[in-house]
Amino acid sequence: MQLKLFITGHKGFETLLYHEIRRILPRQDAQITRRYGGVEILGGIENAYRLCLYSRLANRVFCELKQFKAENEDQLYAAVHGLDWSEHLSPRHSFAVSASLSASKIDHTHYASLKVKDAIVDQFRQRVDSRPSVAKQQPDIHIHINIHKNQASLSLDLSGESLHRRGYRSEHSGAPLKEHLAASIIAHAGWTRERAETHRFVDPMCGSGTFAIEAAMIAADIAPGLKRAYFGFSKWLLHDTKLWQHCLAEAESRIDHSIKTIIIASDYDTRAIEIARANAIRAGVENLIHFSHQDIADLKLEPGRTTSIIVCNPPYGERMKSEQGLAALYGDMGAGLRGIGPAVLHIISANPDLFHRLGLKRISKKAVKNGPVDCQLASFEIVDQASSQKSIGEPKTSVSTASKIRAGARDSVTPLLNRLLKNARHLQRWAKRTGTSCYRLYDADLPEFSFALDVYQSEISASTRWYHLQEYQAPKFIDADKAKARIELAKQAVKQTFDIDDTMLFCKTRQRQRGNRQYQKHDSQGELFQIREGRASLLVNLSDYLDSGLFLDNRMIRQRIFDCANNRSLLNLFCYTGSVGLQAVLGGASFVLNVDLSATYLKWARENHAINQLDDASSYQFLGADVVELLENPSQFGIDRHFDLIFLDPPSFSNSKKMRKTLDILRDHENLIEKSMRLLNKEGLLLFSSNRRGLKLADSLSSRFLVKDISRETIPEDFKRKARNHRCWEIRHSRD
């Protein structure tokens, strides 16, 4: 009997599922093809049995009965009614119908399920004057209808219910992963039966033990479906009971409890360890797992003679008592795991913005859903301190990379390759001499390649560099397709010049932002990378926002504030992510007040302070407020003092809904400076910075205050090619 099967797994792991299926099924017995959303198989019924029994990554095994067009309910009903259902079930059976719909005229899943149910019931009534019953829980036959773009596929769900239900987990602690997702992560980590003899598996936050149990079942070759009491084919009229029993016997014979492997599961919660151990007993792998009660910050393991594969699912923000507790947890995790090397950590997290807290070198990441929660699955390398690695992101020594770019574009891209190499050689020497780790490498030096390129060196792994490419919006007279082709060439040139892949290059389009768009995210990856500037550790986000969280052209201004902050107070207006205030605190400031309207940026600023081990709330504070309103009435916001230093770096334009009125720096800079000076001590200093091209200070300011243009003194080497975009003034009270 030839069947057409469709196997689904967890989204994002289809390739791993495909390769797993190829290992489970003899190639000569089945035709295996990757399809969108899963894997299609043409073959006999034994293939379905083996997949239900052996697949760790699959969650459903569908057997297609019919394909047809279903643009309306009549077509759906007629097609289902036209199938001979007596081949699959009898009036004595129970059945259930589920539906999935997308981009179709029939757009209500419950309605579609009812029409399928009615067609089946009506056929039985017409033929034998009797009908099968409907059962929502564990029906004898589970029927599924999928309609995509009005094309329907009618199938039997031979798994009956999701294959993640292995049967061993009767208890859990917290919010565990489904077993097939856990197995997919383990497969992604590279744990196999062969590696179980050469590597050590560690889950330092084991909860109910799912990762460790799945790893042990892989090591012992225990089929994940052996403990299941229910499948969707058990009462199917075409079910071959003898063949199924043969498959079960074969699976039992393959179990090998004698394998020599090291699987370690620990948790700070003694109750979780009890639950995990009980689940392991039900799975039959308790003798393969070493359970221990340990806090991850104090993790103690025997020195690894082999490489460790570490997999964990830490608590998410909503499961922790406080955000600070979650941040501390990631710091403790990194500290506890660094002594286990050599190892690779694979972590699924809904809080990728805390990955920097691990203090480990990230080597890969991918987006993953855990139920309804958006997560990232990231891998981090743990190596000996003495290990030396190739520097990632160093420029190549010649322009031979042009040979890798398609022939028709080589001539046009060669000038860009030459310029990137020239800039990189000069700026890397300068950066090394000055201790600069993040800088602008290219800024529309060639008119035909209009983009800015910044490089960020990881503080955690000095050999790793990320590249932030910001495309300037092309003028209207430039053909859009031509501009797009140019920027694609630019991306290829950057990747090849610096020998990086797509994970190290972050690209955005820089254009005038209006309305709410100026505050919207470009992406939602949420990951922060840790870099270094002077004495400060800082966090940048290269994917989600137009700017990274650090204005590189203000580097020398931040250094000035660090140099003069000792025993002085600072008011940091429009503080953004708090880098200026942080440098002041590190420079010995007596008090710093950071003010911004954005709760997101203030949270980011607090995290910047936290990673520098600063926790003295008496020396710095954060205030969420509209700066314009605050300057109009400081006492309303609790400000009853003057400051020795004020840093004023407003946006060029803002019309946030949170603000009472728009802010235009050309129009409003005089008022902002005048009001700020009222909060400045008599001998104090206000630094006013802006990147607004064409800004000229109002003449009245020079008549009332001592104003000094220090733009040329504060422009860094890497921004001198566009020096006119950077403006900065020192403003003091007149001595009259």
Q: What is the pLDDT of residue 403?
A: 45
pLDDT digit string (tens) for 419-447? 999 999 999 999 999 999 999 999 999 98
Q: Which string of b and e fits 609-618 if b means at least 16 CB within 10 Å?
A: bbbeebeeee
Q: pLDDT band at residue 581, thresholds of 50, 70 and 90?
A: very high
**Residue 510 confidence (pLDDT) above 70:** no
Q: Which amino acid is at 189?
A: A
| Overall residue count recorded for the chain in this entry | 736
pLDDT digit string (tens) for 48-67? 999 999 999 999 999 999 99
Which helix (H) or strand (E) is 606 found in, with range? helix 599-610
Rounded distance, CA 265 to CA 294, Å?
9
- Average pLDDT (653-669) is 82
Q: pLDDT band at residue 397, thresholds of 50, 70 and 90?
A: very low
From 249-258, 323-332, 551-560, the region with the lowest mean pLDDT: 323-332
Q: What is the pLDDT of residue 518?
A: 42
Q: pLDDT band at residue 412, thresholds of 50, 70 and 90?
A: confident
- Average pLDDT (36-52) is 95
**Residue 616 confidence (pLDDT) above 80:** no
Higher pLDDT, 483 or 335: 335
- Average pLDDT (152-157) is 98
From 303-317, 508-522, 618-632, 655-669, the region with the lowest mean pLDDT: 508-522
DSSP tally for the chain: helices H, then strands E:
17, 30
- Average pLDDT (204-211) is 96
Q: What is the pLDDT of residue 394?
A: 66
- Average pLDDT (324-339) is 87
Rounded distance, CA 347 to CA 375, Å?
10
Q: What is the pLDDT of residue 71?
A: 96
Structure tokens at 140: 């004898």
Q: pLDDT band at residue 170, thresholds of 50, 70 and 90?
A: confident
Rounded distance, CA 164 to CA 59, Å?
6
Q: What is the pTM of this model?
A: 0.78
Torsion of CA 68, 74, 76, 79, to 10 degrees: -60
Rounded distance, CA 394 to CA 389, Å?
12
Domains of the chain: 3-157 (3.30.2130.30), 179-221+259-382 (3.40.50.150), 400-511 (3.30.750.80), 539-733 (3.40.50.150)
Say what percent of the chain tops pLDDT 70: 90
Q: pLDDT band at residue 304, thresholds of 50, 70 and 90?
A: low
Q: What is the pLDDT of residue 725?
A: 86
Of the spans 174-188, 316-330, 591-605, which averages the highest pLDDT? 591-605
pLDDT digit string (tens) for 453-497? 999 999 988 888 999 999 987 766 677 788 788 889 999 999 999
Which helix (H) or strand (E) is 455 found in, with range? strand 451-457
- Average pLDDT (631-643) is 96
User: What burial class does residue 397 get, using C-beta atoms within 10 Å of its C-beta: 0-12 exposed, 13-18 middle, 19+ buried?
Assistant: exposed
SS3 117: helix
Q: What is the pLDDT of residue 27?
A: 66
pLDDT digit string (tens) for 176-187? 799 999 999 999
Say what percent of the chain tops pLDDT 90: 77
Q: Residue 687: CB partners within 8 Å, gap ≥ 6?
A: 557, 560, 561, 645, 646, 647, 648, 728, 729, 730, 731
**Residue 401 confidence (pLDDT) above 60:** no
Query: SS3 string of 490-510?
Result: HHHHHHHHCCCCHHHEEEEEE
In order of 88, 116, 236, 319, 324, the CA distances from 85 in angstroms are 5, 12, 11, 48, 59
Q: What is the pLDDT of residue 447?
A: 87
Q: pLDDT band at residue 320, thresholds of 50, 70 and 90?
A: very low
- Match 């802006």 to its residue by tokens: 690
- Average pLDDT (501-505) is 88
Q: Residue 449: CB partners within 8 Å, gap ≥ 6?
A: 416, 486, 489, 490
- Average pLDDT (684-701) is 94
SS3 content of the chain, % helix, strand, coil (to 5): 35, 25, 35
From 215-219, 310-314, 341-345, the region with the lowest mean pLDDT: 341-345
Contact call for residues 629 and 623 (beta carbons, < 8 A): no
Torsion of CA 431, 435, 436, 441, to 10 degrees: 10
pLDDT digit string (tens) for 599-608? 999 999 999 9
- Average pLDDT (339-365) is 91
- Match 């007279």 to its residue by tokens: 477
